[in-house]
Amino acid sequence: MSTVARWLLILCWICGKANANYETACGSVEESEYLALQRNVDVLARQLMTLRDNSGAWKNTPEALTSLILAKPDVLSDVDASVAVLENEATQKPSLGKFAQILLAAKASCSNTTNFGGVNLAKELKRRLNDELMLNGINREPPQGWYGVYLAVGAYCISEKQSPGESIVARVLEKQGLRGSFHESMSADYTAQAMIALTCVMRVSDSSDPALGTIQRSLHLASNSLLTGISVEKDNVWIGNRYSTPQALIALTENEKLDNQKRLCMKILESINNRPAGREPEAALSQVLPVLKGASVLQLMNDERDCPSRDESQEIESIDENIDDPIPNARVVDIQIDLEFIINPNAYLGGDLASENVTRFDVTRVPKGTILHDTMVLASQRELMTFETKDTAWGRSLVEINGRRANSSMKQFWSIGANGKSIPVGIDQFIPSHGEKISFTLTTWS
C-alpha cells in the first residue's frame, strides 16, 4: 500500500471516530463521555432489578418497570410477572397518579391497554381525571393534588396520542403562575411533569388548533422557570434540586431548550451521573435511569419502538461490581438533638393543640452517620415520642407521630424540618448532626 493510501486510511478512521454517533439527552458527545453514562445505566439498572421482589413487584412497580424498559430492557427478566402485578394494582383503586403510571407501564410493556386485567386503562383514566377536576359539573381543586393530574394528562396523551380534552388542558394551563411554574412553591418537579404532559398535547394538536399557540407559550414560560431554578452545589449543577433534575432535564431537552447550551446540558447530565455516597431510594433510580440513557416517556408515543422481550428463559448476569457504598466507619459520636412537635392551625382537628413541644434528646454514642429514622427509634425507646411509617419507593414515609395520624384525604402530612429548614430527603436518608433541632409539623399540602 502506498504511503498516500495509508494516510488516507488513517484519516478516514479518524473522521469515522469523530463522526461516531454517541447520542445522549444533550445531543451527540465523545465516546468517553457516552461510555461513562452507559456504565452507570448498567450498574443502576441492575441495582433497580435487585429491588424487585419475588412476585415481580417493586415499591412503585409501574415507575420502575417503565424506567427499565426505556433505559435497559436487556436486564429485565420475567416482564410478565411485573405486568401481572400491575394488572392487579389497576383493580385496587390506586391514586390517580399511580393509575396514570400503570397506563404508561402497560403501554411500555406493549400490553393490551384496552383490556388490562379486565380494565380499559385509558378510558378509566379519563373518567377519573374528569372526576378529580369536577364535582357535579363544577370545577374543583383536585383532592389528590396537581402532580397526579399532570401525570394523568401526560399518560392519557402519550398512550392515546390525543389530548384528554380541551377543558382539562385549559385547567392545567390555568394552574401556571406568572413566573411559569406549575406549583405555588416554584417546584421544579411539578413544572417538569406539567411540561411533559403539555409537550405531548402540543405534539398531537392540529396546526390549525387555536389552543396550540397558548400551549407553546406556556411551555416557553415553564422552560424559563426551570432555567431560572438552576443552581450550583459543590460542582454539581441542578435544576431545582438533585431529585427534580432528571425530569426537569427531560422536560427541557424534549423542548429543545438546551440545544444552544450543550456545555450546561452536559454539566447537568454529569451531575446526575455522579452518584454521591449512599444507596439511592428505588424512586430515585427509576427517575434517573431514562435520562442517563437519553430516553423519555414521550418516546412511548412511537408505535415503531421495540417491545421488551417476554422470553422467560432470559438470564440476568450477576452483578460483578460492588454497588453498595462502604458503610461509614463505625466510629461512635455523642450527639444531642432537639425534637420539636408542632401541629399547624390549618391541620388542627380539635382536642389539645399541642402547638409546640420541644424535647431535648441526648443520644450518646451513636455510630456516625446514624439516619433520622434510627435516631427516632432510640427516642421512642426512651419514651420521648411514638411514630409510624409507611413503605414507599422513596423509603419510609412518616405517617403518624405521638398518636396523630396525617389524614391524606384532608391533604395532611407530617413535614420534617432541621434547624427551621425543610429537609431535602426522607427519614431513611437524613442524618442529623449534633445540636440540630428536628421539627415534625403536622400541616397540609396544596
Kindly tell me which residue out of 147, 182, 361, 387 binds ligand B12, with binding defined by CB under 6 A.
Answer: 147
Range in contact with ligand B12 (rule: CB under 6 A) among 126-134, 228-236, 318-326, 388-396: 388-396
In whole angstroms, the minimum distance from the beta carbon of 365 to ligand B12 comes to: 27
101 binds ligand B12 (CB under 6 A): yes
CA pair distance 255, 209, nearest whole angstrom: 19
Quote the cell numbers at residue 142.
383536585
Smallest gap from residue 1 Cβ to ligand B12 (A): 58
Q: How far is CA 52 from CA 43, 77, 246, 337, in A?
A: 15, 11, 22, 36
- What phi and psi, each to the nearest 5 degrees, are found at residue 332? -100, 145
Calculate the alpha carbon distances from 312 to 49, 50, 82 in Å.
15, 17, 12
Does 284 interact with ligand B12 (rule: CB under 6 A)? yes
Examine residue 125 and tell whether it contacts ligand B12 (CB under 6 A): no
Residue (115 or 422) nearer to ligand B12, CB:
422
Radius of gyration of the chain measured on its C-alpha atoms: 24
Give the three cell numbers for residue 313. Answer: 428463559
What is the rounded CA–CA span in Å between residue 75 and residue 68? 8
Nearest 5°: the CA angle 338, 342, 347 is 160
Query: Does 60 engage in binding with ligand B12 (CB under 6 A)?
Result: yes
> Using CA atoms, how far apart are residues 418 and 206, in angstroms rounded to an integer?
50
- Quick one: which segment of 170-178, 197-205, 216-224, 239-247 binds ligand B12 (CB under 6 A)? 239-247
Q: Does 398 bind ligand B12 (CB under 6 A)?
A: yes
Which residues in the 325-384 window bind ligand B12 by CB under 6 A? Answer: none
- Which 202-231 residues touch ligand B12, going by CB under 6 A? none
Q: Residue 153: in which H helix or E strand, if any?
A: helix 146-160
Closest CA to 260 of 222, 294, 221, 223: 223
Is beta strand 230-233 parallel, antiparallel or unpaired with respect to 395-401? unpaired
Task: Provide, rounded to whole angstroms, the least separation between the CB of residue 215 and ligand B12.
Answer: 22
Among 145, 154, 164, 180, binds ligand B12 (CB under 6 A): 145
The reply to whether 95 sits near ligand B12 by the rule CB under 6 A is: yes
Is residue 144 a contact residue for ligand B12 (CB under 6 A)? yes
Q: DSSP secondary structure string, 219-252? A: HHHHHHHHHHTEEEETTEEEESSTTTHHHHHHHH
Could you identify the residue written with the cell 450518646? 364
CB of 124 to ligand B12, least distance (A): 16
443 binds ligand B12 (CB under 6 A): no
Q: Which CB, 363 or 371, lies closer to ligand B12?
A: 371
Cβ–Cβ < 8 Å for 392, 357: no
95 touches 138 (CB < 8 A): no
The H-or-E segment that residue 280 falls in is: none
Choose the binding region for ligand B12 from 127-135, 168-176, 261-269, 282-290 (rule: CB under 6 A).
Answer: 282-290
97 binds ligand B12 (CB under 6 A): yes
Residue 416 sits in the site that holds ligand B12 (CB under 6 A): yes
Number of residues lying near ligand B12 (CB under 6 A): 34
CB 344 within 8 A of CB 445: no
Q: Which of 236, 241, 314, 402 binds ligand B12 (CB under 6 A)?
A: 241
Q: How far is the CB of 394 from ligand B12 (least distance, A)?
A: 4
As measured in angstroms, the least distance from the Cβ of 30 to ligand B12 is: 30
- The alpha carbon of 367 is separated from its chain's Cα centroid by a whole number of angstroms, namely 31
Out of 47, 244, 253, 286, point to the residue binding ligand B12 (CB under 6 A). Answer: 244
Burial call 137-150: b when 16+ CB within 10 Å, e when fewer: eeeeebebbbbbbb
When asked if residue 387 is in the footprint of ligand B12 (CB under 6 A), the reply is no
CA distance 404 to 389: 12
Shortest CB 107 distance to ligand B12, Å:
16
Taking CB under 6 A as the binding criterion, the range among 35-43, 140-148, 159-167, 271-279 that sits at the site for ligand B12 is: 140-148
C-alpha cell at 30: 465523545
Instruction: Report the residue number, 24 or 66, with the smaller CB distance to ligand B12.
Output: 66
Residue 285 in the binding site for ligand B12 (CB under 6 A): no
CB of 441: closest distance to ligand B12 in angstroms? 8
User: Where does this chain bind ligand B12 (CB under 6 A)?
Assistant: 60, 95, 97-98, 101, 144-145, 147, 189, 241, 243-244, 281, 283-284, 287, 392-398, 413-416, 422-426, 429, 445
